[in-house]
Homo-oligomer: A and B are copies of this chain.
Amino acid sequence: MTCTPYGAATPSVCSPAEPVRDLFLLRPDVIFLNHGSFGACPRPVFEAYQAWQLELERQPVEFLGSRFAELMRTARQSLAAYVGAAPEDVVFFPNTTTAMNVIARSLQLGPGDEVLTTDHEYGAVDRVWRFTCRRQGAVYVLCPLPVPVASAGDIVERLWSAVTPRTRVLSLSHVTANTALILPVTEVVRRAREAGILTVVDGAHAPGQVPLQLEALGADFYVGNCHKWMCAPKGAAFLYARKEAQPLLQPLVVSWGWEPEAEGNWTFIAQDSPLVALHEWQGTRDISAPLSVPAAIDFMRAHDWPRVQAACRELARDARRRLTELTGLEPLSPDGADWYAQMVSVPLPPCDAAQLKRRLYDDWNIEIPVFDWHGRQLIRVSIQAYNDEQDVACLIDALRNLLPGQLHGPTIPRTILAGPCDS
């Protein structure tokens, strides 16, 4: 199996996910190993999405008026069942960044109050908390979780060593964006609840990648994207709030649902719960993305998604092993399904991350994130139903050509060498 730069579409080779592969809309000439950034939506779900849009256009007043509450309720019920929550505890948002803003900007923090988080968090969410804490005089505390991480217990202990009597909020990722690690949220949430600390879980990468039972998890707030790993179109995400924590939330976009009144014929405010009323009607917008979530869930069900996910996890594991062999560098965590699912980040030898990323795309047609993280360079491989072994093989071949010298494994002629990372 060989790969060439400027290669054409990689044929699907002995992939367990073969039947679904062709249903995605991604360009066939790109080796797409970056599902994590923005997801990808399969054709049947995308068609359902665009059909909703057309239906909206045919009678917008009915669609966004009298039908709105029922349409959204149906979608919400489907999502809630999928993530293990009651429908009235879940509300749709365009993305998790927006949902995190709702939470962070609702909480009334006092001067000196502390918001504790890790140093693995997503840059936008990090900004949300910094912005909020600065405004309120609260302190934003980053607890370092050095890599390689050793054990779930060690992570919990490190976090707990940073808890003080002023810790009001503990905010952490379920699956980290840069290091692609699954954090031990169950134990963290359990302990925080005992200690009376509010918990906020950023599940941007979790739904569809790791199984969720949100009510059982018991976090005060949990946000997740449906458009990343749940096969939904862009613009479908959710906020879950535990019933007791819901009164803490203020709307980010104040609209008709805040202090709703029976006003003339404006009867379209969703009445399902105060959470829904306060947050779900946010002015005129295309609600087709949330409405397509049931189609996405149906798609996963119809294609035996647990089998697809298992195959993807296995391929991600294989990619991790081969990348580690190639670089000789220690991975970020122990091996195992507790630590990663369909997304793995692997350390690279020191290099110019931006240029390596560009070379991988321009010369090898490989779309994959390579970035600096706390002074090291990481590459993050995402495996979704449309990926196969050859995608990973091409990545390994490309890196063998593009990475600095002293690499392990067999060398092959480097035809397009002299890249900026080539030392």
- Interface residues in A51-93 by Cβ distance below 8 A to B read 53-54, 56-62, 64-65
Could you tell me if A97 and B255 are in contact, using CB atoms closer than 8 angstroms?
yes
Of the listed residues A39, A65, A235, the one surrounded by the most CB atoms of chain B closer than 10 A to its CB is A235
Answer whether residue A301 sits at the interface, using C-beta atoms and an 8 A cutoff.
no
Interface digits, A21-47 against B, CB 8 Å rule (1 contact, 0 not)?
Answer: 000011100101010011111000010
Residue on B nearest A261 in the bound complex, by CB: B123
Residue on B nearest A94 in the bound complex, by CB: B285
| Copies of this chain held together in the complex | 2
- Interface residues in A248-291 by Cβ distance below 8 A to B read 251-256, 258-259, 263-267, 282-286, 289
Answer whether residue A324 sits at the interface, using C-beta atoms and an 8 A cutoff.
no
Answer whether residue A227 sits at the interface, using C-beta atoms and an 8 A cutoff.
yes
- Other-chain residue from B39, B98, B227, B264 in contact with A371 (beta carbon distance below 8 A): B264
Answer whether residue A392 sits at the interface, using C-beta atoms and an 8 A cutoff.
no
Could you tell me if B284 and A58 are in contact, using CB atoms closer than 8 angstroms?
no
User: Does more than half of chain A's interface fall in helix, strand or loop, or is it mixed?
Assistant: mixed
Could you tell me if A254 and B27 are in contact, using CB atoms closer than 8 angstroms?
no
Answer whether residue A124 sits at the interface, using C-beta atoms and an 8 A cutoff.
yes
Kindly list chain B residues whose C-beta atoms are within 8 Å of the C-beta of A367.
Answer: 59, 61-62
Could you tell me if A30 and B50 are in contact, using CB atoms closer than 8 angstroms?
no
Q: Which of A126-134, A144-152, A308-316, A329-337 contacts B (4 or more CB under 8 A)?
A: A126-134
A91 to B149, CA, bound (A): 42
Answer whether residue A370 sits at the interface, using C-beta atoms and an 8 A cutoff.
yes
Residue on B nearest A98 in the bound complex, by CB: B253
Answer whether residue A96 sits at the interface, using C-beta atoms and an 8 A cutoff.
yes
* Given known contacts A39-B60, A59-B367, A61-B34, A234 and B285 CB-to-CB distance under 8 angstroms: yes
Answer whether residue A225 sits at the interface, using C-beta atoms and an 8 A cutoff.
yes
Kindly list chain B residues whose C-beta atoms are within 8 Å of the C-beta of A98.
Answer: 253, 282-283
Could you tell me if A227 and B284 are in contact, using CB atoms closer than 8 angstroms?
yes
Answer whether residue A373 sits at the interface, using C-beta atoms and an 8 A cutoff.
yes
By size class, the interface of chain A is 35 or more
A282 to B254, CA, bound (A): 17
Answer whether residue A95 sits at the interface, using C-beta atoms and an 8 A cutoff.
yes
Closest CB-CB distance, A177 to chain B, in whole Å? 11
Kindly list chain B residues whose C-beta atoms are within 8 Å of the C-beta of A95.
Answer: 282-285
A60 to B259, CA, bound (A): 39
Answer whether residue A353 sits at the interface, using C-beta atoms and an 8 A cutoff.
yes
Interface digits, A327-364 against B, CB 8 Å rule (1 contact, 0 not)?
Answer: 00000000000000000000000000110010000000
Interface digits, A219-247 against B, CB 8 Å rule (1 contact, 0 not)?
Answer: 00000010110000111000000000000
Kindly list chain B residues whose C-beta atoms are within 8 Å of the C-beta of A283.
Answer: 94-98, 124
Could you tell me if B46 and A57 are in contact, using CB atoms closer than 8 angstroms?
yes
Kindly list chain B residues whose C-beta atoms are within 8 Å of the C-beta of A104.
Answer: 254
Could you tell me if A369 and B265 are in contact, using CB atoms closer than 8 angstroms?
yes
24 contacts between A and B (CB under 8 A): A26-B58, A37-B60, A38-B60, A39-B284, A50-B53, A53-B233, A59-B367, A94-B94, A94-B285, A97-B282, A97-B283, A98-B283, A104-B254, A123-B256, A123-B263, A123-B266, A128-B255, A132-B254, A225-B284, A235-B284, A263-B372, A265-B353, A265-B357, A265-B369
Answer whether residue A15 sits at the interface, using C-beta atoms and an 8 A cutoff.
no
- Other-chain residue from B97, B251, B372, B373 in contact with A253 (beta carbon distance below 8 A): B97
Interface digits, A286-309 against B, CB 8 Å rule (1 contact, 0 not)?
Answer: 100100000000000000000000
A60 to B46, CA, bound (A): 14
